Amino acid sequence: MPGYHPQDIEKKWQAHWKNNSTFKADNASAKPKYYVLDMFPYPSGAGLHVGHPLGYIASDIVSRYKRLRGYNVLHPMGFDSFGLPAEQYAIQTGQHPALTTEQNINTYIRQLSSLGFSYDWSREVRTSDPAYYKWTQWIFLKLFNSWYNLDTNQAEPLKTLFAKFEQNGSEGIRAAGDEEERHSFTSGQWQSFSEKQKLQAVHPYRLAYQQDTYVNWCPGLGTVLSNDEVKDGLSERGGFPVERRLMPQWNLRITAYADRLLQGLDTLDWPDAVKEMQRNWIGKSIGAEVTFSVKDHEQAQIKVYTTRVDTIYGATFLVLAPEHELVAELTTPEQKEHIQDYIDATKRRSERDRMADTKTVSGAFTGSYALNPFSNEPIQIWIADYVLAGYGTGAVMAVPSGDQRDYVFAKHFNLPIVQVVDQQQIEEQADPTKEGTYLHGLIEGFTYKEATAKLIQELETRGIGKGKTNFRIRDAIFGRQRYWGEPIPIYYKEGVAYGVAEADLPLVLPEIDEYKPTETGEPPLGRAKDWKYKGLYDYELSTMPGWAGSSWYYLRYMDPHNAERFVGAEAEQYWQNVDLYLGGAEHATGHLLYSRFWHLFLKDLGLVTANEPFQKLINQGMILGRSNFVYRINGTNTFVTLGKKDQHETTALHVDVNIVNNDVLDTEAFKKWRPDYASAEFILEDDGRYVSGWEVEKMSKAKFNVVSPDVLVNQYGADALRLYEMFLGPLEQYKPWNTNGMSGVAGFLKKLWRLYHPQDGDFAVTDEAATPGELKALHKAIKKVEEDIERFSFNTTVSALMITVNELTALDSHKRAILEPLVVLISPYAPHLAEELWVKLGHAAGSISSAAYPEFREEFLVEDTVNYPVAINGKVRETQQFPATATAADIEAAVRESGFLARFAEGKDARKFIVVPGRMVNVVV
């Protein structure tokens, strides 16, 4: 059957690429390198819907284009295959998560392959593969055995710290972390310490350390959740209650890198919004730490961090986080019940909810008073959930005259509000002004800068505080009480944590009988029988969080089969980092931040050479679903069409978009769709159709608006789907899906096919010389495609190619000089069709990827003639065509000879000819 039939060619070329390793990248090449990476997917059971491939198609277009431009391109794919959904399914069914994950991965590979992506599948990685997570565990051990030296501003192996302890004890060591967690000792004491004592002394210096930490504990899921996984006090998965609980947790000291993570953002070609999100998440501030003594509690001291120490005379109360360690001690008997009720309520709210809620005013008075260190006035000590234990010191000095939240709190609870600066206006709201002069004590009459400097000097002189730079970012919790994750390579001897020997990695997940916590509340790994290091020592029972394996996977792709190193030195030095990274903006303060942290750490140890992991980042927008609705008449099983629904009281119900075509419902398919609709009756349009309603919203199974790429590939072909997703609009924007638009793109590909196969007949490309018009159409396209891909404007490229094909069709062009370069131009977008036509043009099968991008030649766009509007006294009368090289004199002579004056001058003589080159001619009469 003549004509273009994608089903006949696409599977053939996919098999060819696979069998011939067409897209296999070399780790050494004279070509320049280009590394294109997609954020690798979690293989869910639902498979891909049409919204998922958007970024993958874009990255594949760039990869194919860069190969045409002579680059050695690395374009890999793998799977983030540890995670909660597979484990939840295992708990429900008893099936091992590895089996579910393997099935899901196979589905993803089939779907991805069907879309013709030019992945180097020989480099596939899976985070749940022991050969992969061996190195995730290895990196963790490096963190465990390192500290951050503030003098050198980088991580160093613990052996350098031990050497300092040997020589001078703990004296003079400047290390990232909480100084209060550490103990002072001399070199002699260090040398007399037992092994256990030495390990206990060094633990607070480690970059991977264990500490009691407030976490989001979800009893229903039996695990700790990140802030992203909690919404309105409930787990995002399952909707189980979540509470804040103090638990021993492994942490990674990302705070040591806060300043470097900030500075590095200036070197990255990332969206400004993502960089700003990271800046805000890191939250650098310059201020002072102040110690408040507590009235009638001689030993109790409350440290606060403030960026406005100049307002300390206006501090009229303190607010502690409900989890603050001093709350129990400072709560008076009269306030105990009220305080406990408030603490219990706080446990049900996530940190994110507490930070985001700026409208609710709540708190509880402990009954105790602190003393303002400068005015010596007693001030009340409260607890409130807007203060977080993990940020700063877990306590704030409240200055209601200068901070609106403190102002509202003070008004609500009738607490004092003291003016600090003479120009403050605080009758109706807080005024954070720094203008004017200060009104109190040591800084009376001072300006802002003078007051700040004076107070910090006084704090340090009195030993009750100091100037300090603070960061909002907290150390990253690195543990989850689940089964399906990387085991943390730690064992315990006499209650002290030891790292598993590197030679004993990987520490493989043991088999267990059930995948839920033990009856005594231990994580699922507590069910493993005889699971001990060397048969003697208990392992850590938590597993790593989901972001562990994804924090370095881009490095493993460089050298995925290296059994001796996480990435070979030569491979890493060749590829360096990712040149183009595509993925969702939702990872800005999770994966992207953690990856940068791990990369900086590996750089400190001399294990990688690039400064950053991802040089350019693009966040693709979301493809929104186009939902369809049927309208059921209330109290019946009768459905009324859109045009007549206003005549009845109805309820709109989502219907499966796959049984709707151009908003017309297949009523018989609807009856078979669900048993309760089997007896459905319909009130139709006058023409006998049931027309459904529609709405654009997020694509999800619950709305029945998910469209599988499998269906569209079978119907229209993968090339059509690739082109259509790019055609929908700018890559970064949200855009609605409408399957009806697929037919237009499919029609374009058929029109392209006919340039090579006139009237859908035999291949008929000639060797005739190209005309100027054909060359002009081609070279406009060469220039446009190059410019658009280089600036990642894929939708405009598709439009340009459609225009080019229309122009060549109108010119009846079937010439090799035009159609051979055209195939190369379109090959990044429609690779299957391009491969087929490339072979028909006489080239080796599968060789279009190594072709050269066509050379753009400006001379073919130069016009031979120019159309000039010709006017009388400024009023255009007609258009005349002149050679592009014609002079003003030539044009004047031609106009006179054309009879123009006789036709339009009404017998008057021409007094003047005005010729605007390339634009117009005006005759003044």
Residue ranges of the binding site: 701
3-state secondary structure of 742: helix
CA proximity to 899, closest of 875, 870, 919: 870
- The number of beta carbons lying within 10 Å of the beta carbon of residue 131 is 13
* CA angle at 43 for the pair 8 and 745, rounded to the nearest 5°: 35
Distance (Å) of CA 787 to CA 65, 780, 783, 792, 865: 12, 11, 6, 9, 27
CA proximity to 298, closest of 365, 370, 367: 370
Structure tokens at 416: 């004092």
Q: How far apart are CA 836 and CA 834, in angstroms?
A: 5
3-state secondary structure of 903: helix
CA proximity to 214, closest of 241, 182, 249, 178: 249
> Which secondary-structure segment (H or E) carries 548?
helix 547-550
Q: How far apart are CA 89 and CA 262, in angstroms?
A: 40
Q: How far apart are CA 283 and CA 307, in angstroms?
A: 12
Q: How far apart are CA 150 and CA 253, in angstroms?
A: 13
Place of tokens 């696979």: 18
Place of tokens 């696409």: 10
Distance (Å) of CA 561 to CA 20, 122, 487, 508, 678: 20, 9, 21, 18, 55
CB 680 within 8 A of CB 670: yes
- The number of beta carbons lying within 10 Å of the beta carbon of residue 653 is 14
Q: Phi, psi at residue 747, to the nearest 5°?
A: -65, -35
Q: How far apart are CA 225 and CA 221, in angstroms?
A: 9
Q: Phi, psi at residue 480, to the nearest 5°?
A: -145, 145
CA proximity to 277, closest of 582, 20, 586: 586
378: left (phi over 0), alpha (psi -120 to 50) or beta: beta
Q: How far apart are CA 389 and CA 178, in angstroms?
A: 14
Place of tokens 């060469």: 782
CB-count exposure of residue 780 (10 Å: 0-12, 13-18, 19+): middle
3-state secondary structure of 913: strand
**Residues annotated in the binding site for ATP, as ranges?**
701
Q: Tell me the angle at which helices 709-716 and 6-19 cross, rounded to the nearest 10 degrees.
A: 110
Q: How far apart are CA 319 and CA 310, in angstroms?
A: 18
Q: How far apart are CA 70 and CA 33, in angstroms?
A: 9
> Which secondary-structure segment (H or E) carries 163?
helix 158-168
CB 558 within 8 A of CB 125: no
Distance (Å) of CA 805 to CA 302, 746, 749, 755, 780: 74, 13, 9, 8, 12
Distance (Å) of CA 272 to CA 265, 266, 276, 277, 278: 10, 10, 6, 9, 10
Contact residues for 219 (Cβ-Cβ < 8 A; gap 6+): 240, 241, 243
